[in-house]
Structure 1
Amino acid sequence: MPIGRAPMARLTRAQQQERTRAAVLAAAQEEFAQRGYADAKVDRIAERAELTRGAVYSNFPSKRALYLAVLVDSIEHPDVAEAQSPPGLAETVSAFARVWLERLPLTGDTPAGGKLQLRSLAGVFDDEPGRTALAQVTRLEALLLGLALESHPPHDTRRVRLAELVLTLLSGAGHLADTAPGFGDPFDVACACRHLVGLDLADTWDPPHLPFVAPARPVRRAWEPPPELPDLINDREAGFDADGVIAVLGAGRLEAAEEAVRAARPGDRITVAVVTSDPAEIGRLVRLRVGDLVESLRRVSAPDAWPGLQLVLDDRAAIASAVGLADVDDATEAAVRVRAGRIFADAQGRGAAYAVATAS
């Protein structure tokens, strides 16, 4: 074969892989919509797609990974050019709730189709690693929503607990719509979310372990940033060359993201890189839940009200390697401070993000 034709052959293989993946996703969406997650079968998905079982597993290593891929694929990316932030905090919470509640299944929907529309994860993560990751992702969701709500005055007020309550109420409404369709009024739920703003939650940020966090280690070495990765919040390529803090967090330590956010200096760029030993499932879970939340935020808030940090899924551990980590897992917690193209502080272990953010 002439040398000049090799790239064309590679391109053709890539196109074929993409067509196979699209066929599997379309077939899986039909199977899950008809039978639900528990009763869906990979063999039937392969038959629907006119592929072999092996072809399905070559793209998705498990039924759970395939289900999560279908849900991620269903997330829309609305045009935010005309998005306007509501005038006040209560209006923002109410608008967010209304957008979130649009996914609720209706009385006439089939149980399986309703779960898919709801993006329900009921019965999907029934193992301990999955449940731990889901809990941590939910903490991250609350942080992101809380930061968006903190764009309203007074700006020195933490609103993560308010975000937690809003998400709790919405999740409860979703669970009831899943198990008892037709119960409750979504408008009442949105109104209740609005009134949560009036609660005095005494919301402070004072984790008890922070006084015992060891200082970051002063270093001086070149910072060689990895290739750009998609920013899950801002729908653009994340950059890693600005001064600031880069925190590498395993899927079991996502709550530590707030330690970098709260302790950072004015003007710092905060980057949270999520790593996991299971990108096919846990990585997709992160992509799903963050994408789901950001989709709703984009529809109710202008970009200047979005959370002020970069969030990337480091599924190939490129950022982890650049900060000096040889191995990563769901318990990973490490951070570095970058300035003028060099790393000046680093830390690993519990409290690493806080230690680096406060490093002088």
Structure 2
Amino acid sequence: MPSGEELRMVRLTRAQQQERTRASVLAAAEEEFGEHGYALAKVDRIAERAELTRGAVYSNFPSKRALYLAVLIELVERSAGTGPQVPPASPGEALAAFARAWLERLPLTGDTAAGGRLQLRSLAGVLDDDHARTVRAQVAGLEAVLLAVALESGERGAAPVRRVRLAELVLTMLDGWSHLAETAPGFGDPFDVVRACRHLAGSDLADTWAPPHLPHVAPAQPCADAWHPPAGLVDRISGDEVGWGADGLITVLGAGRLTAAEEAIRCARPGEQVTVVAVTGDPAETGRLVRLRIGDLTGCLRRVFPSEAWRSVRLVVADADDAARVAAAVGMPGVDDETEAAVRVQDGVIVARAGGRGAAYAASAAGVPRSTRPRRAGA
């Protein structure tokens, strides 16, 4: 009978072999998608390139779509950089720098159509069903919130302006330019886009935050449960492991509810850490879609804004194992794409728990008179 040490070595060897197989599949898939594009790529050719069987490919990735998303994630995370030490001088300069970082994905003149689409992180023809469209809209809303938080962090004065509408406008312009680069390469001048983004920072968009449902949100459930934070989670904004403090607001959002992250950010009490955990019932495809888009955005943000821009906000994109651990830690039976739940931790104890629409607001406001409940920038 093998000893415990022998069993441990066997498991380690298997894990290392699986990681090598996965890396071989990803490298072969990147070549295949770069030569043929998503639609014409063949899993059989990917297996042949990797010198593996078709079954070995599918044992690591359940579908061609999941494999394509994994390749794009590898490209994004491979190109991730570090940020500056000082914040941009103004919102206009910040948006110009962000646009320059974003536009580096534009394909070069000699790139093939398939290679250019890979460089652009194109999802055309990949995720076009109704559910995927809904999730993409939610992710786009979350992207705008994250960009806005960074812009607002540099505001001076007692009443910072909400910048979400500005962020939505800038991201719309950049996404549109990426689409043109795919369908009409060579059109226009990217430097004009940079100048336009800088100019947009001065627009008065009358941006306020006043969700009509908040006055009708049911109160959170008071409690005094032990808080056992899950270890090893990665903050997708900073790229660092999440370090849990004694106090904070943790909100768990399904892929169909991601825009509720702004609610947690605006309603959190001053000085509290806000942790947003994005979950899904389909980690292979929907989860990878969320991780791809957020990774792509934060890779650009980190090159423009110092880490202090998000000092009070963390974002976790949970895989299946992480989602299960987070659900257990906050006292949830499970998660899916419509999950919206939150807990407030004080002195290492869960003191409030809420679920459903407005959960973050309810958990943060527990025990605070309605007239004195805090709101952050743009409220």
Give the structure-1-normalised TM-score.
0.96
CA distance in 2, matches of 1:148, 1:84: 13
- Same amino acid, percent of matched pairs: 66
Equivalent of 1:79, from 67, 77, 82?
82
The 1:346–1:21 alpha-carbon spacing in structure 2 relative to 1, beyond 3 Å, is same
CA distance in 2, matches of 1:307, 1:2: 49
CA apart distance, 1:241 = 4.0
CA distance in 1, matches of 2:243, 2:303: 25
CA distance in 2, matches of 1:154, 1:122: 41
CA apart distance, 1:342 = 1.1
Q: Could you list the per-position Cα deviations for residues 57-106 of structure 1 after superposition, in whole angstroms to 9, with x for gaps in the alignment?
A: 110111111111101101222133x5442211100100100110111113
Equivalent position SS for 1:17 = helix
Q: Could you list the per-position Cα deviations for residues 216-258 of structure 1 after superposition, in whole angstroms to 9, with x for gaps in the alignment?
A: 1111221122223111111111133430110010000001111
1:217-256 correspondence runs (5 A)? 217-256=221-260
CA distance in 1, matches of 2:255, 2:311: 19
Q: 2:336 aligned with 1:329, yes or no?
A: yes
CA distance in 2, matches of 1:223, 1:319: 11
* Paired position in structure 2 for 1:169: 173
CA distance in 1, matches of 2:258, 2:219: 20
CA apart distance, 1:284 = 1.1
Matched residue type, 2:193: V
* Paired position in structure 2 for 1:19: 20
Matched residue type, 1:228: G
Q: Could you list the per-position Cα deviations for residues 88-142 of structure 1 after superposition, in whole angstroms to 9, with x for gaps in the alignment?
A: 1100100100110111113332111001001111111111111111111111110
CA distance in 1, matches of 2:2, 2:111: 56
Equivalent of 2:141, from 139, 142, 158?
139
CA distance in 1, matches of 2:334, 2:6: 39
Contact between 1:297 and 1:306, CA under 8 Å: does it hold in 2?
Answer: no
Contact between 2:272 and 2:312, CA under 8 Å: does it hold in 1?
Answer: no
CA distance in 2, matches of 1:357, 1:18: 41
CA distance in 2, matches of 1:216, 1:62: 40
Equivalent of 1:293, from 290, 297, 302?
297
CA distance in 2, matches of 1:225, 1:67: 33
* Paired position in structure 2 for 1:203: 207
CA distance in 1, matches of 2:248, 2:177: 39
Contact between 2:352 and 2:366, CA under 8 Å: does it hold in 1?
Answer: yes
Equivalent position SS for 1:274 = strand
Q: 2:276 aligned with 1:272, yes or no?
A: yes
The 1:284–1:184 alpha-carbon spacing in structure 2 relative to 1, beyond 3 Å, is same
* Paired position in structure 1 for 2:55: 54
Contact between 2:271 and 2:312, CA under 8 Å: does it hold in 1?
Answer: no
CA distance in 2, matches of 1:303, 1:221: 32
Q: Could you list the per-position Cα deviations for residues 303-327 of structure 1 after superposition, in whole angstroms to 9, with x for gaps in the alignment?
A: 1124631111232221112111112
1:28-107 correspondence runs (5 A)? 28-75=29-76, 76-80=79-83, 82-107=84-109
Q: Could you list the per-position Cα deviations for residues 334-359 of structure 1 after superposition, in whole angstroms to 9, with x for gaps in the alignment?
A: 00111112111111111111111222
The 1:279–1:5 alpha-carbon spacing in structure 2 relative to 1, beyond 3 Å, is same
CA distance in 1, matches of 2:306, 2:342: 30
CA apart distance, 1:2 = 4.6
Matched residue type, 1:286: V
* Paired position in structure 2 for 1:119: 121
CA distance in 2, matches of 1:261, 1:357: 10
CA distance in 2, matches of 1:260, 1:170: 27
Equivalent position SS for 1:337 = strand
Moved more, 298-307 or 59-68: 298-307
Matched residue type, 2:162: R
Equivalent of 2:191, from 184, 187, 202?
187
Equivalent position SS for 2:275 = strand
CA distance in 1, matches of 2:154, 2:124: 34
Contact between 2:96 and 2:195, CA under 8 Å: does it hold in 1?
Answer: yes
Give the structure-2-normalised TM-score.
0.92
Unaligned runs of 5+ in 2: 368-379
